[in-house]
Every structure is written in C-alpha cells, then in structure tokens.
Amino acid sequence: MGTNGAGSANKLTGMNRRTNKNRPVSTNRLTRKDGRLITNRRGVLLAAIFCAAASLAFVAAADAQRRDARTKSPHAAQSPPAARAGGEARRVAVTFDDLPMTGDGGRSSGEQVAENLKKIAETLKANDVPAIGFVNENKLEAPGQREARTDALRAWLDAGFDLGNHTYSHRSFYRTPLAAFEQEVIKGEPVTKQLLAERGKSLRYFRHPFLNTGRTLADKRAFEKFLAARGYEVAPVTVDNSEWVFAQAYSDAIRGGDDAKRRRLAAEYAPYMETMFEFYERLSRDLFKREIPQVLLVHANQLNGDHFAEIVSMLKARGYSFITLDEALADPAYRSSDGYVGDVGVSWLQRWRVTRGQAFRPEPPLPEYARRFDADIRGASFKTRAER
C-alpha cells in the first residue's frame, strides 16, 4: 500500500535483548591415580565455597522477586531511564470518541447507553482523570431514544468532562468531498453546542473520524481553515490503537453469552494497550529526544465501561499523570508540521515522522487471539506491515 512517497518503513527492533551468561566457574577436576578416583582438596574447597555463594544469591534474588510482586502493579513495566529519573514526567490526555456509545451495533437502549457512559465517567472521576468525549450526533437519533441519549451527554458534562465534535455520522474525509465533509461538521453541532452553552462553555475541539485528514494536501489545508473560522481546534492523537477490535468482539461476546470469550478479551486488553504505549513512548523519544505529553484515543463502548479502570491502573504503574487536552496541546511538539495525507488515518507522531521525510514505522500487531476478530483488512492489521 502506498504512503505518498514515504517509502519503505524500517523494521521494528526486537523488544527483548539477549543477556550475557556468566562463564561457568572452573574447579579442579576429579583425577585418577593408581586406578582410584581421588579429588584435589583445594578443588573441593573451592567448589563448596562456590555452591554456598550461589545458594545465598539464589535466596536473595527470590526474596527480592517476592518483594517486587507485592509492591508492583501487574501491568507495571520498566520505564526508560530518562523517564524514571530526571527526565520528562509522563503525562497523558484521555479522549473518548463516538459518544454517546459505539461498538454495540446500535442495539443498546437509551438507558443502557446512559448507564455505560455513566460507568466510564465514574471510573474517570474516581481516579481524577480529566477527559473529553467526541460526539456523533446521529447516534442520538435512535427511535424513541433521543431524550435518554441526550441526557447521557448532559450527565457527562455535569460530571465535569468536556465534549467535542466528531462529525454528524462519522464519515471518512478521504471518501467525502470537502464541501460535504464541512456540512458533516455543521450538522454535528446543534445538540452538543447547546449542551455546552447551557453550562457556559463553547464547542472548541474537532476530531477527525478514522483520524483521516483528507485525500489531498489542498483539501486538508482548506478544511483546517474552515475549522478555524468556526472556532475549532483539531484534536490530534498520539496513542492510536485498535481497541475498537477488542470492543466489538467484547460486545458480541456479551450478546452471545460467550463468557469465556468475554473474559479472554478483557484479560488481554490492558497488556495490549501497554504495548501500544511502549511503542509511542519510544517513537516520541526518537522524534523529540523526550517523551511528550501523549493524547490517548479510546471509544465510548462496553469494554471501557467495564474495564477502563484497568487501563488507568496500567498508566499509573507506568508513571503517568492525567492532564486535559488543553494542557497536552500546550507542548511545543504539537506545533510540529503535519503534511501527511492518505487513506490511512495514523497517529500524529507518525505524521510528524513522515513529514520529516522518515518512513512510517510499523506498529505492534494485535495479540493473536484478538487478531481473529479483525476481519476488515483495512482495520487493525495494515499499520503493522513492514512495507507501506
């Protein structure tokens, strides 16, 4: 698949490094004299001392491992030295797309939608995590559910969170003419803008569906001018991921009564997201020689209603504090030039990389179990290919 001149991407280096093994300690060998085996006394003494020292070291290591197991989160990972001591503190802004709810095939009732968004809000509040949710207003139009779904957005705002525009119906800019896409923005404003105005706020942020910013650079720049004229700022994403694959399969498992599938997906969700954070932390260091404040993209789905607390715990274990989108975008890295266009929506870290003339870096694949639920070849797998 082409990347508009980006060229072939570099192969990811392996996560694991080989460790050097100590050479075996040499002791005097058994020797034969007059047909009988005898030992050198000095060799026996050295061997005994070595065995005793090895035993003590093994016990000490085991004790240390047990202490670590009691104090570390199950999702804790080793941070790079610069981030652990004296470097940039890790910070992340959390953003949710497709409010009031997605990933359920539109089958949830208004009450279920409201309850799911409430669960996400409660997790965020309990952990002092600020967040913004991006709304598709066509999701308010389910027959007989408009009031309940709108009330879910009201409750989100009343819990102290923000809202942004994600277009009316989540159309891809790459496949939509500029003028029609601008109308998608306008049509996606009325309810969200009114709810914000009732609380003395304004509609300030826009998030591109599929992270797709247009077919051509001319369309991209024209649309950015259109957004600015309407008072919007683009909400970029640095930690892109395929959480939506987990979420759709998770909702299907609940609907089908497949508890084993549901539990397996839930168990693999946070470790997968940690892998994605590790990848983008490294990409940030490669680009900026530091870890910039990250912007996480996830969705308002059942998976996060049930398990976003585990994502929060994983991030805390990695040393992250939680900030607003405003605070993240104040970092000068977000003023970097972005000249990327194409049919594939990607992280802004990848965009800045490509704009600098570097190759797209293949991203970590889905875990083997989750991969079976990514039937769309335009979905989670395309970003992991070595050639783009």
Number of H helices, E strands in the chain: 13, 9
The answer, as to whether pTM is greater than 0.75, is yes
CA distance 238 to 46: 57
pLDDT at 135 over 80: yes
Output the average pLDDT for the chain. Answer: 82
Both structure tokens of 112: 């279920």
Domains, in order of start, for the chain: 89-384 (3.20.20.370)
CA distance 388 to 98: 28
pLDDT at 169 over 80: yes
Q: To the nearest whole percent, how much of the chain has pLDDT over 90?
A: 72
* Secondary-structure percent of the chain, ordered helix, strand, coil, rounded to 5: 50, 10, 40
pLDDT, mean of residues 326-338: 98
Bridge partners, residue 90, by sequence: 320
Residue that is written with structure tokens 């082409």 in the block? 2
**Three-state DSSP state, 10:** coil
CA distance 111 to 89: 40
**Three-state DSSP state, 9:** coil
pLDDT at 288 over 50: yes
The whole-number pLDDT of residue 381 equals 52
Do 181 and 171 contact (CB within 8 A), yes or no? yes
The whole-number pLDDT of residue 374 equals 87
Per-residue pLDDT band for 375 (boundaries 50, 70, 90) equals confident
pLDDT at 75 over 50: no
Q: Select from 348, 361, 232 the least CA-distant residue to 294.
A: 348
From residue 322, alpha-carbon distances to 156, 238, 252 in Å are 18, 15, 31
pLDDT, mean of residues 39-66: 39
CA distance 272 to 269: 5
The whole-number pLDDT of residue 352 equals 98
pLDDT, mean of residues 156-168: 98
- Write the pLDDT tens digit of every residue in 226-239: 999 999 999 999 99
pLDDT, mean of residues 249-277: 97
Count of other CB atoms within 10 angstroms of residue 129: 22
pLDDT, mean of residues 200-209: 98
CA distance 278 to 275: 5
The whole-number pLDDT of residue 170 equals 97
Both structure tokens of 249: 């399969």
CA distance 91 to 76: 16
The whole-number pLDDT of residue 382 equals 56
Count of other CB atoms within 10 angstroms of residue 188: 24
Between these two residues, 380 and 257, which has the higher pLDDT value?
A: 257
Half-sphere exposure of 332 (CA within 13 A, CB side): 3
How many residues are there in the chain? 388
pLDDT, mean of residues 172-194: 98
Q: To the nearest whole percent, how much of the chain has pLDDT over 70?
A: 74
Both structure tokens of 156: 């989100």
pLDDT at 68 over 90: no
**Three-state DSSP state, 296:** strand
Quote the DSSP letter at residue 22: P
Half-sphere exposure of 340 (CA within 13 A, CB side): 27
Per mean pLDDT, which range of 58-67, 191-200, 244-253 is the poorest?
58-67
Per-residue pLDDT band for 292 (boundaries 50, 70, 90) equals very high
pLDDT, mean of residues 250-275: 97
Q: Of all helices (H) and strands (E), which one includes residue 152?
A: helix 146-158
Per mean pLDDT, which range of 144-148, 316-320, 376-380 is the poorest?
376-380
pLDDT at 219 over 60: yes
Sign of CA dihedral 146, 148, 149, 153: positive
Q: Select from 233, 236, 244, 213 the least CA-distant residue to 101.
A: 244
pLDDT at 276 over 70: yes
pLDDT, mean of residues 139-156: 96
The whole-number pLDDT of residue 209 equals 98
Q: Select from 295, 259, 316, 255 the least CA-distant residue to 123.
A: 316
The whole-number pLDDT of residue 106 equals 85
